[in-house]
Amino acid sequence: MKNSIINVLRRVWTKIHEDERGLTTLEYVIAAGIILVVLAAAILAWNNGLAQKIGDLIKQLLGG
């Protein structure tokens, strides 16, 4: 049982590394995910800073 699982995993590993198109597609998907996470974090940080500045301006306008 253990040997058959190892053989299947070895064949899958070999197939993944033989097909460069699949590996390239996987790399693109991973890179796109990383870029989207960084972009989302930057937008949230910018939005929080902007909201704080708007809050400070409203306090100034209200004489606080």
Total-model pTM? 0.54
Residue 22: per-residue pLDDT: 63
Q: Are 21 and 29 in contact (CB under 8 A)?
A: no
Looking up tokens 């100034």, which residue turns up? 60
Report DSSP state, residue 63: T
Alpha carbon distance 16, 29 (integer Å): 15
Q: What are phi and psi of 50, to 5 degrees?
A: -65, -40
Tens-place pLDDT, residues 3-59: 778 888 888 778 767 766 666 788 888 889 999 999 999 999 999 998 899 999 999
Amino acid code (one letter) for 62: L
Alpha carbon distance 51, 54 (integer Å): 5
